[in-house]
Structures are given as C-alpha cells and as structure tokens.
Amino acid sequence: MSAAFQPYRRARDFGTPKRESQRQVTLTIDSVTVTVPEGTTVLRAAAEAGINIPKLCATDSLEPFGSCRLCLVEIQGAKGLPASCTTEVREGMVVTTQSKRLADVRRNVMELYISDHPLDCLTCPTNGDCELQDMAGAVGLREVRYGYDGANHFGAKKDESNPYFTFDPTKCIVCSRCVRACEEIQGTFALTIDGRGFASKVAASQNQPFLDSECVSCGACVQACPTATLTEKSLIELGQPEHYVVTTCAYCGVGCSFRAEMKGEQVVKMVPNKDGHANHGHSCVKGRFAFGYATHKDRITKPMIRNSIHEPWKEVSWEEAISFTAKKFKEIQAKYGRHAIGGITSSRCTNEETYLVQKLVRAAFGNNNVDTCARVCHSPTGYGLKTTLGESAGTQAFDSVMKADVIMVIGANPPDAHPVFASQLKRRVRQGAKLIVVDPRATDLVRSPHIEADYHLALRPGTNVAVLNAMAHVIISEGLEDKEFIAARCERDAYEDWRAFILEERNSPEAVEKESGVPAETIRGAARLYASAPNAAIYYGLGVSEHSQGSTAVMAIANLAMCTGNLGREGVGVNPLRGQNNVQGSCDMGSFPHELPGYRHVSDPNVRKLFEQDWNVTIDPEPGLRIPNMFDAAIAGTFKGLYVQGEDVAQSDPDLNHVAKALSSLECMVVQDLFLNETAKFAHVFLPGSSFLEKNGTFTNAERRISRVRKVMKPLAGYEDWEVTQLLANAMGYPMSYSHPREIMEEIARLTPTFAGVSYEKLDELGSIQWPCNEKAPQGTPTMHVEEFVRGKGLFRVTPYVPTDERTNSKYPLLLTTGRILSQYNVGAQTRRTANVAWHSEDVLEIHPHDAEQRGIQTGDWVGLKSRAGETVLRALVTERVMPGVVYTTFHHPESGANVVTTDNSDWATNCPEYKVTAVQAYKVEKLSDWQQRFQSFTEQQLEFLRKARAGSEEAVG
C-alpha cells in the first residue's frame, strides 16, 4: 500500500465518514448483500461494496449535508427518492442506485449546475481530476437545455491573495464542502456561505481576501473542494501529478503523513494522507504548502572548507572535505585528548541519521560527547517521565483525546505549534469536553470561535511548579484522589512522603496565589474539574520544560495524573507536545551524552557490553558533555572540535553572545545542513545536507509513532545525510558499511528492546508503528502503562517549588517569555525560504497596553529589549494577549536576536535553558542594537565568503 512509487490517482472517497458500532446491519444494494456498522449511510455502504452512487456535496471527511440531490436512490417501501448520503442503513433495506427515473433526476441536477459553470475544462487546472467533470460523465450529461446565457457567475473575480491557493468563484457550485471543512476538520470557522439562493457565495471572514481573513491556510477547504474553485497554485503552474509517494512531514511533532504527489522528481503538491494515523487526512500550512525551501536557490550543494572563519570558503570534493575533517579531528584529539571533540544531532534528522551520529561519537570519537537539540526543549520530559513512570515518552496516541472529558493544556499553544492535533482537540471540545488552559498568555485555546476554556490559569512565567503543586494540594486535601489506583499502582512510601509534602501549607492555593498571580479559587476550581472527570488528559509543551524547574514541573504533572488515576487507558495520560518532527526519535536514538539508545545509562555494564560486542569497540562508561557544557568547555579551552548535523545552535540556543564566543573558540567546527545557517557562519567545514524529500528513513512523532520518510528525488548534493556520517566514520578509522537506512533500523531493533519488532517491512505493512514494539506488542503500543508502569510501580516524587534566580527588579522590571507561531518553524531556516513569510515577516515584541503606555510605545515602534545577557531591538505589537508585566516574542528570524536576550539559566536536572523567563527592560529606540549591527556586518562578511567560494568554482569550471 504505502511502498514507494504509486501511479497517481485520487484517494478513494466513501462519501460519508466511517461509523463505529457494536451492531452490524445487513441490507441489499442493487441485489448485492452488504453488512456495515449501524449508523452508516446508504452512500457509504454502497461505496464499501464497490457501488459508486453519484455525489457532489458529500465526502468522507465531512458529515453529510444533503444539498446537491445527486445521490438520490430508490428504497423499497420508502416514499420519493431519499438522498443516500443522509439516509442511514436499516436492517433488510432494499436499495436501487440506478434506474431510468434516477438517471433523469440526476441528469437534471447536473444540467442546472453546468448551466452556471464555465465550459473550459480543457484548460482548467483540475482537468482530469475534477469531481464535477466525473459526475457529468457518470450521469451521462449530453446537453444543457437551459443554455449558458441565463444569469451566471462567470464574471466573478479570482482571489489570489493566498500565496498557495487561488479561489476562482466562477467555478463554485456552492456545495459548502469548503465551509464545512474549515469548521469540522480545521475548526477555524473562517468561511461562510454568504447570501441566499442564486446570490449565495463562499466568503472568507467578512468578505475579505483569504490572506486578510482568519484563514490559517491549512488547505482543508482546498482538499474538500470538488471543483477547481479552490486550487493549489503549484498545481495550476505544473499540471496534474503522475505518481505519488507516501512520506512524513518534516516540520512538527505531529508527524503528519503525506502523499508527495509528483511529476518526475518535482513535487506538484503535498496532500495529507487520509490513511495517516497521526493526521487522518488533515495538515497545516507548513507541511501542506511550505516545501519550496527544499529546492530554494540558497541550498548549498557542494562541500566547502576553510582554515579560519575569517577566510572565504573554498568549494571542494566530498573526499577532500571528509579527509580534511578527519585529519583536523584526529589532530585535535592527539593534542587535547580524546574528550576534546563531540557531536550534536538534530530532531530534524531521521532516526537512522541520529543513531549514526551518536554511534560515530561513541565508537569513532571514543567518548560520549553527543547531545541533541532536545536538550534545549524537552530534556526535562525525558528526565521527569523516566523518573516517575519509567519511560521518557508521552503515554497516549493523539486519537486518545477524543475520549477525554477534561483536557488540561499547560504551557503549550497547539493551534500554533501542533496545528493538526489542535484541530482534533478543538473538535473534542466542541463535542463537550471541558478545557483548562495554564498559560501566561491568552492563547487561541483560551478563546476563539466556538472554543472557550472553562479555566484559564494565567500564571506568572516561572510559577508552573507552584500552581501544579497547589492543584495537587486541593485534590489531596479535599479527598479527590483515586485511592484504589494509588494503592494498586504506585510505590507506597514514596506516595506517603509526597502526600505529607503536598499537604504543607506552602502548597495551598492561597499561599501560591501571591507568587503565581492565579486566584486561589481558580486553582481550586481547575483542580476539582480535573480530578472529578472520568477521563482527564494533560497536554504540555515547552512552556513547562523550558524553565529552571522544568524537570520538576514534568514530575508534578506525572504526580497529578497518578494521584487521580489518569494513566493507563484511552482518554487520559501525560502528553508532551514535541516541538520539532523528530524530537522523540532523536532522544530514543541515544543522542543524550549519558544514555545509549533506548534510554539506558552508559554506566550500566550490561548495556555497554551489548553495544560493545555489536560495534566492536569499548564504550566510555562516563557521561559526556551536554550542549551548554560543550560551550563552557570550548570557552575554557578544553573542547575544540564539533560536528553539528542539522542544528542551528547559533540561533536557537540562549545567550547568543556566549554561544558565539564558544563557537569562535573551536578549532574545527563541521556543519551539515541545507543552508549556510547561523551556526555555519562559525564553521570550518560545510557538508551539504539533504532535505526530507531526498532521503529514506523514519521519524518518530510525539505519540511515539514511527513513520517512514521516503525519498522522492535525488539528494541535491549527491549524498543522503546518513551516508555523510558514514564517510566521516570511515575516515576517522571506524568502519561503517550500511547500504540503506533499513540496515540501520535492523541494528537499532537488534540492540533496543523497545524497537525489537520494528522493521521497514512491518512499517510498509502497517503504515506506522508506536513503540514499544516487540514480542509482547508486535503491532506496537498506542497506550502505555496499561497494567503496570514501565518502571513497575509509579513513583511520586516530591516537587518543591524553587523559584528561578531570574527575577524582575527595578532595572529589569518585565518578564520576557518566548514562543512560536503557526506559519514559521523553529529558527525559520526552512519556512523563511517559502511564501509563509506572507504571514510572519519579522518577530515582534508583544507588550500589554499598560506597559506600552508607560514607556510611550506604540504598535510598530522600534523597541529596545535588554536583559543581563544582552540587548536587541524589535518592533512592538501592543496587545492584551499578554498580561501586564510580561512581554512575549518569537525567535524565527535571526536578525531579531531574541536569544541574545535570553540567559544561560537552565533546568536544574538537565540544563534545558530557561527560555520562558528572562527579566528585561523595554524602551523606545531609534536604531538597531549594537548586537544587531555587529550581526549584520558579520552576516554580510560570511555571505561574501560564500559568494567567493561559488565564484571561485564557476571560474574553475568555466
């Protein structure tokens, strides 16, 4: 099914959604006997039996609507001609789908539609893939008796404002599939049918152009439209695809499955896969449309080297670049010792690539100095969940949210950061689930169309632990805990200790109110709601982990779930929402300096032995350097060489002045990436990377789901990323000889018990697999900790609230917190190279009207932002989304330098940086900061060095 190349065809459409029911109903359709679950429509039952009833307004991603009257059928004993899309099956029903009478009615319906439809099929972009065209064929339309001169909409104007799709109202049949898609699937409610009867038309927001409307460009309406009215611009430009390949989005931790619809090696469009287990046919603007970066002219496709970062680059062959690197690394080790080099893996790379980089470090470098960018986002999740539950991963599948009665979202902004999951969550809330939001900002989940949080705990940044403890205090002191679950499933002594601790007065809502700013009654209400629900689920994000108490907060969340028995079944659980696509996978693959793949500590001799025998090396039993330690060691002069695959530490890490100083101290820095990113500006070797379209591998999303990434085009620079790591290992004297990532996965499965049952064959067969997948769970594990916790008994950990050192004072009276937005991705290196900039061309500073007025700041003004770490300048956006005393920005654009301001404070257990709390001052300025001016000239110089390399190679060639 999902194996490599498939000839292009539209995904099968069953007309109405699948229904689940214990009861089966049997009926006869055109003398075929069909058995389907109760609640299924006649239209769908027929489709499942291979009988295609004509239809236009129905599609299986949307609830039936019954407006087009094309799907009429005859039902024995029923009056008239019922619409099959809105008629549910009944036992013994006898249905006829084709007859002279039906044919006449259907032809009439089509005639009416076509009389108001331009007949330019031959030049229409969806020619050959249009449902209206198909239906005209299916009903045998031969003439249009009404003629084309009657009233029509042929003069209506196209809306081309959205960078990715056009809206051509002349082709609209007002089936309202787009309107319903925006409501039911996406949950944005941007579209309406405006006017009545003949005058009715589709309108975005208040009859605005799409780009200016509330539309978030998810593409659901484009997908649902049966005509060429809503069409991808790429399709208009390139024509119909001829084959497709199923692959996985490389942006966020939802890990949507896509059909890359291709023309040769060119992507025509990325279409969300209906069979995708994480997304069920939905997507967001990034995965759906923002793939143009992969072929952007800024891609670097030739290896480059230089001796100093103050010199121009020189383009060289792969052999030269690799041997240059190996020589430097060996020299450094000879001079400064084995521990003077290391590597950084990326959550943007595949599991196989990440696995190989950590193997390179442990086996070829001979130390454990390997870390991953998850250090700066979710390392506290690993620590906290491993400690309490026994496994460093979320407990549920995304679909589990559809069984939750209360949903608590803490420090996460799913509509922006995990859009497809957010759509699902909002759907559940519209069905009646209660919602608690814990966030300093009034995010879209607090209030947006048809969504209103029952509780918003607008806490002061940095006080998560205090508030979570207070919630637990309420639960225990009011006797709302699940005593049975605690007694059966958790360690008793630890629970008793925790219980005594949590009942202390310092953890009461009244005591916490002052520190957190959340009224005690709100905390009590939220705690009662969470504890009393049959199923309550927690979803949390970087607003939990990126704090000096990040690990404590994760444990406090686990404590809350354990004490209310909300673990081990569907509808409940503790769910970290991972930022980047493969955060989960990169952690699983042993990217942390203290852990071998599968979260096993390097000090464990049995685990080491397993790897030592397989790899034929000795593994260092001591933990290596974490990313912030690497920087400190570089400045101290003991760490000199670094291999960075797919990561941009010089933009994404905090306290950039410090990072820049560290990177400039290195003697050999190797960057493997698509673009000359910020980090590469400090590099001595640049190894061109390959995009997700150019390689094979797997990603693991936030629900532990392993999905295939499939190559749809040749790597622009000749090698897939794993091949480059392999070349480097060989040059360093450690032999590697994989011929395909499938072999790397075989090795991972061989050495990692939770992956024992995973293979490419099984992934092809099942589509995706949630680990653990082994003998006990050959099909994978959607819900974890069902009978018992992975560690046996759940462990309550005492979670004292230790306030951050980062406090406001008269010099720095505001708290800065950082985040992300929908259309941009992380450091933005990819999304900034797509038309997504239409929505976010620069990072802005959100500031409350009260604070703005005090400082004479207005929206659009340049504002200086200063902390004890540094200073930068951004444009202001005055808004009540942030509370007084708090300012907010994103870090998608390097020149805005949000991370110049963030400090080197970090989580106590994992050194995950405290991005979410920085004490700052803001003031009106006229020009860019000194840092920005230096940044600009440094960037210009580095780009000049790149131009020289390229010019050099052209000369050489020409």
Partner 1 sequence: MDVNKLVRMANQIAANLDDGKNPQRAIDGTVDHLKRFWTPAMRRQIVEHYRQGSNGEEVIELSFIAAQAVARLAEEQQQATA
Residues near partner 1 (CB under 8 A) are 339, 497, 501, 548-549, 551-552, 593-594, 601, 603, 622-626, 629, 632-633, 635-636, 638, 798, 800, 802, 805, 904, 906, 908-911
| Minimal distance, residue 290 CB to ligand SF4, in Å | 8
Q: Which is closer to partner 1, CB of 609 or CB of 661?
A: 661
C-alpha 517/C-alpha 509 separation (Å) is 10
Single residue of 29, 45, 46, 56 touching ligand FES by CB under 6 A: 56
Q: Which is closer to partner 1, CB of 610 or CB of 635?
A: 635
Q: Is 834 helix (H, G, I), strand (E, B) or coil?
A: coil
Beta-bridged to residue 25, according to DSSP, are 36
| Minimal distance, residue 186 CB to partner 1, in Å | 41
The radius of gyration of the chain from alpha carbons, rounded to an integer in Å, stands at 29
Using rule CB under 6 A, residue 658 touches ligand SF4: no
| Minimal distance, residue 128 CB to ligand FES, in Å | 22
| Residue 181 near which of partner 1, ligand SF4, ligand FES, none (CB within 5-8 Å, type-dependent) | ligand SF4
Q: Which is closer to ligand SF4, CB of 164 or CB of 498?
A: 164
Q: Which is closer to ligand FES, CB of 57 or CB of 869?
A: 57
Buried b (16+ CB within 10 A) or exposed e, 591-612: bbbbbbbbbbebeeeebbebbe
| Minimal distance, residue 606 CB to partner 1, in Å | 16
Using rule CB under 6 A, residue 267 touches ligand SF4: no
Is residue 507 a contact partner of residue 469, using CB atoms and an 8 Å limit? yes
Scanning residues 60 to 79, which ones bind ligand FES (CB under 6 A)?
A: 66-71
Beta strands in 677-755 (DSSP E): 685-688, 697-700, 705-709
C-alpha 36/C-alpha 476 separation (Å) is 47
| Minimal distance, residue 632 CB to partner 1, in Å | 4
Q: Which is closer to ligand SF4, CB of 174 or CB of 878?
A: 174
Scanning residues 121 to 180, which ones bind ligand SF4 (CB under 6 A)?
A: 172-178
| Minimal distance, residue 41 CB to ligand FES, in Å | 9
C-alpha 314/C-alpha 90 separation (Å) is 74
Scanning residues 419 to 478, which ones bind ligand SF4 (CB under 6 A)?
A: 419-420
- Reported as half-sphere exposure (CB side, CA atoms, 13 A), residue 304 has a value of 35
The DSSP call for residue 275 is T
Six token digits for residue 928: 């860019």
Q: Which amino acid is at 530?
A: Y
**Residue 747 CB neighbour total at 10 angstroms:** 18
C-alpha 27/C-alpha 25 separation (Å) is 7
| Minimal distance, residue 536 CB to ligand SF4, in Å | 24
C-alpha 178/C-alpha 185 separation (Å) is 10
Q: Which stretch binds ligand SF4 (CB under 6 A): 119-127, 252-260, 424-432, 939-947?
A: 252-260
Query: Length of the chain in residues, anyone?
Result: 958
Q: Which is closer to ligand SF4, CB of 289 or CB of 789?
A: 289
Using rule CB under 6 A, residue 886 touches ligand SF4: no
Single residue of 62, 83, 89, 218 touching ligand SF4 by CB under 6 A: 218
Scanning residues 120 to 159, which ones bind ligand FES (CB under 6 A)?
A: none
| Residue 172 near which of ligand SF4, ligand FES, partner 1, none (CB within 5-8 Å, type-dependent) | ligand SF4
Q: Is 345 helix (H, G, I), strand (E, B) or coil?
A: strand
Is residue 645 a contact partner of residue 353, using CB atoms and an 8 Å limit? yes
The DSSP call for residue 323 is H
Cα 145 to chain center, whole Å? 52
Q: Which is closer to ligand SF4, CB of 97 or CB of 186?
A: 186
| Minimal distance, residue 203 CB to ligand SF4, in Å | 10
Q: Which is closer to partner 1, CB of 492 or CB of 947?
A: 492
Q: Is the peptide bond before 772 cis (omega within 30 degrees of 0)?
A: yes
DSSP-derived secondary structure for 665-695: T-SEEEEEESS--TGGGG-SEEEE---GGG-
Is residue 94 a contact partner of residue 127, using CB atoms and an 8 Å limit? no
**Residue 264 CB neighbour total at 10 angstroms:** 10
Q: Which is closer to ligand FES, CB of 60 or CB of 352?
A: 60
Using rule CB under 6 A, residue 536 touches ligand SF4: no
Scanning residues 82 to 101, which ones bind ligand FES (CB under 6 A)?
A: 83, 85
Which one, of 521, 434, 531, 519, lies nearest residue 478 by Cα?
531
Q: Which is closer to ligand FES, CB of 68 or CB of 567?
A: 68
Residue nearest to ligand SF4 (CB): 287
Which one, of 234, 220, 246, lies nearest residue 163 by Cα?
234
C-alpha 527/C-alpha 536 separation (Å) is 11
User: Which burial class, exposed, middle or buried, applies to 858 when counting CB atoms under 10 A from its CB (0-12, 13-18, 19+)?
Assistant: middle
Q: Which is closer to ligand SF4, CB of 445 or CB of 472?
A: 445
Using rule CB under 6 A, residue 668 touches ligand FES: no
The DSSP call for residue 946 is H
C-alpha 380/C-alpha 396 separation (Å) is 18
Single residue of 83, 130, 202, 458 touching ligand SF4 by CB under 6 A: 202
C-alpha 341/C-alpha 370 separation (Å) is 9
C-alpha 472/C-alpha 490 separation (Å) is 16
| Residue 629 near which of ligand FES, ligand SF4, partner 1, none (CB within 5-8 Å, type-dependent) | partner 1
696 contact partners, CB below 8 Å, separation of at least 6: 350, 708, 709, 710, 711, 720, 740, 741, 742
Please provide residue 368's backbone torsions phi and psi, each rounded to the nearest 5 degrees: -110, 25
Q: Which residue has the tokens 């072999």?
A: 743
Using rule CB under 6 A, residue 58 touches ligand FES: yes
The DSSP call for residue 94 is E
| Minimal distance, residue 502 CB to partner 1, in Å | 10
Could you tell me how many residues of this chain bind ligand SF4 (CB under 6 A)? 41
Q: Which is closer to ligand SF4, CB of 208 or CB of 730?
A: 208
Using rule CB under 6 A, residue 227 touches ligand SF4: yes
In the chain, the N- to C-terminal Cα span, in Å, equals: 47
| Residue 446 near which of ligand SF4, ligand FES, partner 1, none (CB within 5-8 Å, type-dependent) | none
Q: Which is closer to partner 1, CB of 336 or CB of 738?
A: 336
Buried b (16+ CB within 10 A) or exposed e, 504-517: eeebbbebbbebbb
| Residue 71 near which of ligand SF4, ligand FES, partner 1, none (CB within 5-8 Å, type-dependent) | ligand FES
Which one, of 78, 86, 88, 74, lies nearest residue 38 by Cα?
88
| Minimal distance, residue 587 CB to partner 1, in Å | 15
| Residue 178 near which of partner 1, ligand SF4, ligand FES, none (CB within 5-8 Å, type-dependent) | ligand SF4
| Residue 488 near which of partner 1, ligand SF4, ligand FES, none (CB within 5-8 Å, type-dependent) | none
Could you tell me how many residues of this chain bind ligand FES (CB under 6 A)? 12
| Residue 392 near which of ligand SF4, ligand FES, partner 1, none (CB within 5-8 Å, type-dependent) | none
Please provide residue 951's backbone torsions phi and psi, each rounded to the nearest 5 degrees: -60, -40
Which one, of 726, 628, 882, lies nearest residue 322 by Cα?
726
Q: Which is closer to partner 1, CB of 166 or CB of 469?
A: 469
| Residue 221 near which of ligand SF4, partner 1, ligand FES, none (CB within 5-8 Å, type-dependent) | ligand SF4
Query: Which residue ranges make up the site for ligand SF4 (CB under 6 A)?
Result: 172-178, 181-182, 186, 188, 190-191, 202, 215-221, 224-227, 229-230, 249, 251-252, 254-256, 279, 283-284, 286-288, 419-420
Query: Which residue ranges make up the site for ligand FES (CB under 6 A)?
Result: 55-58, 66-71, 83, 85
